[in-house]
Structure formats: structure tokens, C-alpha cells
Chain A
Amino acid sequence: MDKLRSANSQGEKVLVGFSGGPSSRAMLQLLSDYNEVLPNERSKKPLFSEVLVCHIDESPIFNLDDSDDHDVILNQIEQIAQNYNYPFIGLRIDDIYSPDYTSSGAYNKVLEVTLDKSSPQEIDELNAKICQQETSTKKKLHLLLDGVSKLTVKEDLVWHLKQCLLINTARKNGCTKLLLGDCSTRLSIKIISFTSKGRGFSLPLDISGLNPWFGDVTILRPMKDTLSKEIGIYNKFQGFETTIIKSLTTMMPPKASIDRLTEEFVVKLERDFPSTVSTISRTAAKLTPSELIDSDNHCVICLMPFQKDNKIWQSRITVMTTPSSSTMIKTQDSTSEYSSKNSSTCSRAATCCSSDCCTSKDHNINNLTDLLCYACRVNMRDIKGITLPPYVTEDVEKRNGRENLKKSIHDIFIDGKLIIGWFNSIDLIIKCLIADGSFLVLPSDVMKFIKTINEKDKEAYGFLVTYYAFTERSFEAIERHFTVLENDIVKLIKNIEKTINKRNFRKLKIEKNENIDEYIAAIKKRKKGLKEAIEIKDRKIMEHEITIEAK
């Protein structure tokens, strides 16, 4: 029964996702059996050096009044973990809204998404804006779930939040493995439902016993070859009392959601044809992740990879406006002036809303749909207006930043010898340094470069920043080593500054909101642009304050 051996890990720290249900209960027992080293086996090393048990409390989803009852369940779950002497981490599902679960660890903006029905495009556009909300995490979660009408979408969202919580918790605690208790029955249900929801592209990862997608945290599913029935019997004979965790579909009829319906389908088939489950899961296990999978194309909500340009594909295969419905709209338009009035007020409201956003440092995100996978985009069609947690917002902002950086570098490209580009933060400079013309720059190259700068103080060596050098790979490389390099970069910049000062460069400042394009045009007009140097003085001048040489 124990398939934990599949991992060739030695002395690693693992996080166990423990829901309290039968499958994870059995998994915990098997794990402890397997990991145990008896006193007479001194040469044997435990497979995992440390086991952490993490439970995510889903009760905030429901407005539970009988909190006493609920505390009992939580205590039971904690007690189980303590029986094994494993450290217990208790989380609540709404914790996803706290800034601790973003990659920077301090980001608390949420992404407000509303559906834009006004655009006549085939795919509904999403209006999204980043803003700060001061409500409690629990309220934010309710805002998210109340904004969704379909149960299927709710279930999906809850699962994405849970997965993100687990992965981040594993990262924070330095765990390299995350164990999930998906049993074979559950997996075959997932296979069918994920396929029907349009998650085929990431399916091989979602169901594999070993999912390396998240890089530093590998997801293992040790129970993947065990039937839920076997687990039930195992638990019965071990005398385990499993706790009952209410989920969204508990006590719901079979047609409540896609997941629930698939469950019904698979389980019914399994009764008449006993090998259904293993047939499904074994067939799907033969799937391998597509070669097109690329870490840059991941969905900001579910974190799973998606196929590039899937939006185009979606618009090709989807018929959103049928002829009959469009005529209906026309008649509606002609009959009611009210609606047009209404829409004009709407648009006015929208503009003043957006100006409000500018003043309050909220940003509107236009290309959210490009950052979603097909399944999540389909889900988004069902929303009325939701607030997505900070981890999504952070990712969206990061990705947009990347796009903008690429664009701005392209715009400002002047073949000169000094740093050229539009920098608004120190890490962008690093990225520019990294991309000094070669396609893949390793952090060691940057170090070397910085050293040469330091030695030859007389002259600040310039480098050409080319648009094409900004491969995503170099971004990734530098991001990983950012903290190591920061000081060196500051030093480097000071050196450049010194040199520039020696040469009596005239300084020219750009105000924060000045249009960068006009500025560049102005430089180009002067025709002396080739030797212009744009330079950042220090961290404080990140707000686009740029010094320029003009002879």
C-alpha cells in the first residue's frame, strides 16, 4: 500500500496536506509507519527529516453559527497530528487574503474583477483594478464567493486558493515536498471533471503522482493507486474516526456542480464495472505534460500552465452572438431610449471611477484575460464582481511590469554606450545590466561586470541594452539572485554617477508624470541623442527622475 518510495528523496522536509478526511488520515498513518525508524535499525535513515502537517480550515466559507461544534472538529484534527508528534500548522482558507501568502510576503492589494458586458467582442473582457481593501480577510473571501453564481466555479476557486495556500506554506517552512491525499477514486473524478472544464493542458500535472511544476516544491500524491474503498476499510480496521469536513457540495444533489456530477458518474460506473476507476486513472497516467509548457505562461489564478495564444483559439471556436440574439438586441435598442441613457451614465460613472483610481493609486489592468488559462477564463464568465486575493494581484502586476519593461526598453533604445532605458526601480536596472547584449546572462557575469566597473573607476562602462536580450530566462535568473546583488548595484550606480558628474553632464529631471514618449521624442530631435546617458541616482529617484547629458 505504501507508494511513498516513489520519491528518491533523502532527509527532506515535507508538508502533509491534511484535510481530516479518510484519505489523508490513512496517508498520515502510512507515512508515519514508513518514516519510522525503530531503535534497532540505527543504520536506517528516515525518509523525511521532518514532517509538518497542515490543515486548512474551510469553515469561513460558510457562516457557521455552531462554532463550538466546529472547534471540536479542529481540535480533533490537531490532536491527530499531535499523536504522531508532527508539528501542526492550522490555516484558515481566508488566510489567502493576508499578505503572508504572496511571493514577496508583504503585499495586500486585491484585484477587483468585474465582467465587462458592454464590449461587443466575442470574448467577454474583464475589468480589473488593483486596489486596497481594509475589510477583514473573511469578508474578502465572502466577497469572492458571493460574486460567483455557479457552484462549480466556487469549488474551483476554493481549490485554487487551497492549493496556493499549501504551496506557499510549504515554501515558507522550507519543505521541498508537499504530500496530498488524492486517492485513485478522487483522481479519476478529477480527470473527468478537469477535462470537461477545459483543464486538459495542465491535466497531466494535476493528476500525476509527482508534480514538479512549482519548482521548489514538488507535489506528491502517494495515495494515487489506492481506491477510496480500500482506504475506508483500512481506516475502519485501524479504528480511525475520520472527521467530517463540510464542503460546498455536502448534502447537495448530484447535479449541483460538475465535480459532484462526475463523482456520481464515476462511482456509479465503478459499482457495475469494478475496474472503472483504475482504468481511468491508469489511462490518464500515461499522459505526459506537453512540451509547450513554459513557466512564463501560467494562469494567475490557478497557477497552472496554459497554452499560449489560447485566447485566439477560444475566440475561433466560440460563438458568443447568435444571429437571433443580435436582432433581439437591436429591437431592444430601438424600443428603449432608457437603455442608451443608462449606458451613457454607466460610462460616465466608469470614467470618474477610473480617475478616482488614479488618485488613489489604484491601477486598472486591461489584459487580465491574457493571463488566465482557458478554464479560469470560462469560470470568469460567470462572475458578477469578485475580489481576487493578493497572490493573484501581485502576479498580475509583476507580469504587467515585465511587459511594460519590454516595451519601454524597446522605445528608448538608442545605440549608445551608456545605460539606456527607462528604469523605475533598482531591480529593473539589474535586469538591464543582466541583459547587456547577450541572450543568457548568468548572475556570475553580472558580478564580473560589476567588478570591472569598480576597478576602472575612471570611466563608467556603458552597455547596450537591447530589446531582444530581455529573455524571460534572464529575468528569472536575476530575480533569484536579487538580494545578493543589491549592494553591488548601488555601488555601481554611484560610480557611474561620479563619472558623469566629472564630465559636467548637465542634469535634467523628468517629473513623475511627464510623458516619457514626448521626452524621448525631444531627445531624438536634438540629434545628439547618441551619447545621452540616462541614469538613476539612487533608490529614491525611482520615480522616473532621470539625469541626462546634453552637450
Chain B
Amino acid sequence: MSSLIKVNLTFSGGVELLFNNIKQKIIEIPSTINPPKPTTMKDLILWIKDNLLQERSELFVSGNTVRPGILVLINDTDWELEGELEYEIKDNDEIVFISTLHGG
């Protein structure tokens, strides 16, 4: 069965406004949200959208990924190097969302 994994989320640069000004949050999510595949970034983003996002989801997600202009770092590495949405989340991963624009 699926076990819970811990993920450390950080929001900064303005994204935290969408999350009630919470800058950091440790969440626990199932290791397989969509069995049998392990949880990926895609699942995580949707999970965040459904569970954490307070308002205006269109300012955080567009389609099934984050809005352009929001920088995502996985363990201090640009997520583009980690396979973006296909990245499989591991226990104790640190994921940072930084908005690089003032508009959101």
C-alpha cells in the first residue's frame, strides 16, 4: 500500500499571497497518489491546488502545470533539469515555488 512521504514546500516572491501568506509548509502526501505510478510533480501540483490553494487558482496553475513566471526548484535545482512534471517525489524533498513577476 501507499505510504506517506514528507515534502517541504516553500513559497516566496509573491506566491505566498495565494496561500494565506504561508511561506513554508511541510506536507505529507501518499507516495502514490495515482497508483500504481509513484507520485510525480504533476500530482503534487494538483494536490496543492486542491488542498492548499486559498484563492485564484489560475494565478498558480495553468493547465496541469504551474503558471509561467513561477520558478520551481527541487532540492535547490531548477526543476527543468529534474524532468519537470515527470519528476518522482521522494521523501523529504524540498520544493520551492518563487514568483519572479510582480503580477501574481
Contacts and interface: CB of A to CB of B under 8 A. Distances in A.
B59 A242 contact: no
Contacts of B27: none
Contact of B13 (A242, A251, A252): A242
B12 interface: yes
A542 B58 CA distance: 64
A268 B76 CA distance: 23
A334 B4 CA distance: 77
Interface stretch (B32-40, B45-53, B95-103): B95-103
Contacts of B58: 253
Nearest to A245: B102
Report, nearest first, the 5 A-B pairs whose CB atoms are least far apart.
Answer: A228-B100, A271-B68, A267-B69, A267-B68, A232-B100
A379 B13 CA distance: 31
Contacts of B102: 21, 245, 247, 249-250
Interface residues of A, number: 28
Interface in B67-82: 68-69, 71, 73, 76, 78
A250 B13 CA distance: 12
A270 B73 contact: no
B14 interface: yes
A316 B71 CA distance: 47
Contacts of A253: 58
B104 interface: yes
Contacts of B90: none
A22 B68 contact: no
B103 A250 contact: yes
Contacts of B96: 236
A211 B96 CA distance: 37
Interface string B2-18: 00000000001110110
B68 to A, nearest CB: 4
A253 B13 CA distance: 18
A50 interface: no
A62 interface: no
A263 interface: yes
A232 B76 contact: no
Interface string A245-264: 10101111100000010011
Interface size class of B (residues with CB under 8 A): 20 to 34
A241 interface: yes
A228 B101 CA distance: 8
The DSSP consensus for interface residues of chain A is helix
In this complex, the member of B55, B68, B96 whose beta carbon has the largest number of chain A beta carbons within 10 angstroms is B68
Contacts of B104: 250-251
Given A250-B102, A260-B103, A233 B12 contact: no
Interface string A423-438: 0000000000000000
Given A233-B73, A241-B12, A251-B56, A22 B103 contact: no
Given A232-B98, A270-B68, 5 more contacts: A232-B100, A236-B73, A244-B16, A250-B103, A267-B68
Given A236-B73, A236-B96, A267 B17 contact: no
B78 A263 contact: no
A185 B100 contact: yes
B100 A22 contact: yes
Interface in A251-310: 251-253, 260, 263-264, 267-268, 270-271
Contacts of A247: 102-103
Contact of B103 (A235, A242, A263): A263
A241 B96 CA distance: 13
A232 B13 contact: yes
Contact of A232 (B59, B68, B71, B103): B71
A241 B58 CA distance: 25
Contacts of B71: 229, 232-233
Nearest to A256: B103
Contact of A242 (B12, B73, B78): B12
B71 to A, nearest CB: 4
A268 B13 contact: no
Nearest to A249: B103
A251 B57 CA distance: 11
Nearest to B62: A268
Nearest to A230: B100
Contacts of A185: 100-101
Contacts of B78: 233
A231 interface: yes
Nearest to A269: B68
Nearest to A237: B76
Contact of B68 (A233, A242, A268): A268
A249 B14 CA distance: 13
A184 to B, nearest CB: 11
Nearest to A261: B103
B72 to A, nearest CB: 10
Contacts of A250: 14, 17, 102-104
B13 A22 contact: yes
19 contacts: A185-B101, A228-B69, A228-B100, A229-B71, A231-B100, A236-B73, A236-B76, A237-B76, A245-B102, A251-B17, A251-B55, A251-B56, A251-B104, A252-B103, A253-B58, A260-B103, A263-B101, A264-B103, A267-B68
